[in-house]
Each structure stands twice: as structure tokens, then as C-alpha cells.
Amino acid sequence: MPKLNSFDALNALRETLKKETFKPDTLRARVCCGTACTATGAHRIIDQFKKEAANTGLDLEIVKTGCQGICQKGPVLKIEPMNVFYQRTKPVNVPWIMSYSILGNMPYRQGLYRDNILSEPVPVMTDIPFYKKQKRIALRNNGKIDPCNIDHYIAVGGYSGLDKALSSMTPDEVLNEVDKANLRGRGGAGFPAGKKWKHTKSAPGRIKVVIANGDEGDPGAFMDRSIMEGDPHSLLEGMALCAYAINAQYGLIYVRHEYPLAVKNLGLAIKQAEEKGLLGKNILGTNFNFTVDIREGAGAFVCGESTALIASIEGERGFPRPRPPRLSEPGGGAWGYPTNLNNIETYACVPVIVENGSDYFLSIGTKTSPGTKVFALTGKVKNTGLVEVPMGITLREIIFDIGGGILGDKKFKAVQTGGPSGGCIPAEHLDLSVDFDSLASVGSMMGSGGMVVMDEENCMVDVAKFFLSFTQSESCGKCPPCRIGTYQMLDILKRITSGKGEEGDIERLEELGKKIVKGSLCGLGSSAPNPVLTTIRYFREEYEEHIKDKYCRAKVCSGLGLFRIEHDECFLCGLCKQACAFGAVRETRRSFFIDQDYCTKCKACYTACPIGAVKIEKHKRQGSAVRDMEAE
């Protein structure tokens, strides 16, 4: 692989690759090989395509792309030049796709996307509702290129931003362009990247370090993972531009060990970029030097916090450190050197800003939150997957227009944004603009981009317990407010969801949550109470029902409610009696009934009943029972 020693050499190579790579009339299958599609059989699809192409004598180009987004429908692929999109593809479908789309020049209807069985199939990807409102910047190359081929990245315009910066811009001009674009950190806090870069650059010292935070620990979140797996060169280019702007020489990518495909593709991308002369010494014939290495983390959630991440990189236990000094100051960064830390998505946006200018980036999104944001849309939504949308889009548009609405057309209840430390937003805020400031105003946050949708069958007290149990178990234990406070909050939630809640528990949760937020050392502790505080704020009546009525309206929590059998509905199958391990379900000659003295509220009878004849009702409060007796 010849080294590129000048800007002219890079531009000449790009022009050659544009002509030779992705020719418009070439028969081509772009198969998604992201983690989700790989798990559902993408490589079996590729093997079948190769077999069919050999049998028919066709010259078929197969491109193994990164995540194409709609993970719910995987494996997915695109056939060119017809530009037909196929979903849920199986090896048995491949001969039909070859016969129809490649030999017959018409779509194979059974493999096309459709909203439901009665709707017309949609052959073109951009016409599918999931993609219509998306705009891709960070994911601009996912689904287009082979992440293991640097020539593909260069052919679609890769390293043009670095070329422009090194050939016609000073480091300060690059830094000012990013600062003017108001690129806010996509890792959660939303701090402007330009201001962070300026602070690092102004720090004294000859050696500076650029670190990319790929420790994506939120359950169900895979935004950074998809960039590292599907377009690693966009990350490397963004890091190189940052290094040029702040006069840094060394770069590190911190990736959790559970991302083996990301580690593999990043390692290959670094090697290819070095061989091309786009990383290393005297990049493109200039005196700019920048080397990048990978550091694998052990998967601790707390290592997403900047100081804990630095400790992990240095080989120490991932404990947060008090600040100052900040990472950007001497003594605060990696091995004491001033360090700039951004997450993967933030760096992936930088080449677009430098190449197209800050005005282009500012034209997308809102005034205070420009650009786009990648979200992992999961939960009780019809179309789960990876979406990138302009800032300012509403929650309703993401959940119902892009996500297709709630599974089973059930009632929407809440959406949790910002990962396990985010807040739960109720239906009354569905038209809320999705940006850093709007989400913060309702008690939630952007976070790294997790978005979990919940319906009427979710118990919000149980949801709060689930997320708090995650953050509590991931707490490093260094500071008492987080270590002890989250444990105490979780203990109260466990009592409430098991029917042992007491008067005053809600107030105790609120008091503990506020003290943990105020007293914790790092972002994990200061945001851990968010799910509890927001669910109390918006769903307080559910907490009160659990405590006062011993009732869970979603019928999720065991140990709550009064169980009885509706005799008019029961058809005497006896499954409830078989399921009860405590002999609480009794049988008479013409019916079954539940003996409350023996019932442990384990829900076995409720779950076993095939027709829903077992009912769960509220216990009457003591005051209500007295009023009923007086009325009689």
C-alpha cells in the first residue's frame, strides 16, 4: 500500500477511487454486517450470494457494511443498481432476490419492507418511514462502505476534512471552526467541544493527548459501537483534526472489551491509515505527527466517567478522582499530560464541520443544540434500531413516525432517555423538542443516546427499581453518598414493589435522591437517582397505590393486590389450582375460589389462567373500609 506524501497524491487517489469504486452500473449487494444483523445471520446471506453468483456466472460485488439502522428487521441489505432494500432476509430468499432483482430487473416483493400485512411493500430505503425523518452526519457512511477498506472511505470523501485543514487552515482556524459550530459533546453532558479543545490547547506543556471515549455502558445503547464497527476512519479523522487543532501528538481510543468487532475494525483501520500516511509521522508530507493506539476496558460502567477512564487507561482501578485538576490541565490527564476527551460520536462529526464549514452544521438542529444526534431506540416500539435525527425533532416523531408506534398498538406510557441515569418522560411531554436543554427542563438528559419506550404494561416503580439496581451495582463505592445512598434507595424500592411499602417512603426516596445528587463525587452518583425522582414526579400515584392500596396497576409486581376468580368468566380448566404451590386455590362442585388466608400473591394463578378470569384488585384502604361500614 503506497504512502501518500502530499495533498495532491491524496486527491489523485480519491479521484481514481471515485471512478473505480462503486460504479453506478455494477451489480452490488450491500449487506449489513453490524452486530444485530450478524447475530441474525448476515454472513450466511453473504455465503449464499457468493454461491448463487458462482452458479449463475454473475459478477456480483458484495459490500459488508456497518449498521444500516433498522435492527428490528435484520438481516437487511440493498441491491444495486436497482436500489432495492430487503429486510429479514434468509438464505432461502437469496435465489429469489438474484432471480428477480438482478436477473429480472424487478423487486422480490416478499422480501420488501411493509408496515403491516395489508400495506403495499416499499422497495426504496429512503421511502420507509423509519428513514424518512432521519439525517445522517455521524452515521453518514454506515451502510455505504466496507469499514475494513480504507479505499472505500477515501472514495466517498473520507479524509477531505484533514486534507483541507493541513493544506489551507492553521490549527487555530480549525479550532475556531469547531467552536463556532457549537458542537456539544454527544457523550451526555453536552459541553461544547470547542471550549474544551481551547482549554486543553492553552495548557502548558509540549505533550498533549487526545482520547476517544468508546466505553458505552448504557444498557441497550450501541451508538458509538456502530460508528467504531461501521465507519472507524471517521473517528480517526476526527481525532486527527482535534490533535492538529490543539497541537497533540498522541491519541488513545478507550473501548470496552465486550466490543470485539469494534476493536478488530479499529485496529485494522489504524494500520491502514498508517500505511497510507494518514496517521503517524509527517502526515501527508507535513510536519504534523499523530499516532493512535487502542486501550481495552473491562466493562465497568463507572469508567465512562472521565477521571475513572483515565485511571483505567493508566492501569489502575477505575475510581473517579476529585477535580481540579481537570483532564485538560497538567496533572489531570493521562499520565499527567493535558488531555482532551470526547466520545466517539463527537469526533465523527468533526470532519463534516471542517470540510463543509460551521454554518452547514449550524443550519441543522436548534440554536443551542445544532447538528444531529444518534439514538438507540429500544423497548416497546415496533421498529427498534439506530436512528440519527436533527436536534429539535419531537419525541412523538421519533417514537411514532420513525419507530412506528407502540407494539400491539397499546397505550404509550413513558420514554426513558439518557441511559440508566436518565429520566422517565410521560405522555404529556411527547411533543417535547429533543435537545440538551429541553430534556434537562423535564428532569431527564440526552446522555449518550439511549431511548427506551414503555407502554401501559410497564410499572413505573418497577422501572425505577430496575435502573437504580443497575447504577447501584455499578457504583465504584468510593464516595459514601453514592455507595450507601443508592443502596438505601434500592432497599426502599424493593420493599414498595413487594407490598411492604410504608407511609413516608416516597418522601424518604426524594430526600435521599437529592442528597446523593448533591454529595456524589462523579456523574454516576449525581445522576443515579434521576429515574426514581422523575417517576415520583410524574407517576406519584403509582407509588401511592403500591404503598397504600398494595396494588400494581400494571400487574407486574408480585406480592401486591387482592386475587380473586371471576366465576362468570371461569370455564373450570383447573390450571390455576395446578399452578398454586400453597393450596390457596380451592375447588367446589361448580367453581374455583382463592382462599385469602393462604394466598401469597405470587401471581402463579394469574399467569396460568388462559382467559384472564383471575383478577387482581386493590386492597381497600382502612379509611375507605370504615366509610363503607358507616354508609351501610
Which domains are seen in the chain, by residue range?
25-80+84-123 (3.40.30.10), 150-362 (3.40.50.11540), 372-458 (3.10.20.600), 461-549 (1.20.1440.230), 562-631 (3.30.70.20)
Which of 273, 453, 487, 489 lies closest to 380, judged by CA? 453
Q: Which amino acid is at 618?
A: K
Whether 205 contacts 249, CB under 8 Å: no
**pLDDT at 626 (0 to 100):** 35
The series of mean pLDDT values per 10 residues for the chain, 632 residues long, is 86 92 90 92 95 90 94 92 93 90 83 87 93 94 94 96 96 96 88 95 94 86 91 97 97 93 95 96 94 91 89 91 90 94 96 96 95 94 94 96 93 91 92 93 87 94 94 89 94 94 95 94 89 95 93 88 90 92 89 90 91 86 42 40
Quickly tell me which residue has 503517524 as its cell.
280
Cis ω before 325 (30° cut-off from 0): yes
**pLDDT at 629 (0 to 100):** 34
**pLDDT at 89 (0 to 100):** 95
**pLDDT at 1 (0 to 100):** 60
DSSP string over 486-538: HHHHHHHHHHHHTT---TTHHHHHHHHHHHHHHH-SSHHHHHTTHHHHHHHHH
Cα separation, 112 vs 99, in Å, equals 15
* Alpha-carbon radius of gyration of the chain: 28
**pLDDT at 546 (0 to 100):** 93
Cα separation, 228 vs 263, in Å, equals 8
DSSP string over 402-421: IS-SBGGG--EEEEEESGGG
Cα separation, 155 vs 525, in Å, equals 45
**pLDDT at 251 (0 to 100):** 97
Question: What is the reported pTM?
Answer: 0.90
Tell me the three state secondary structure of residue 223: helix
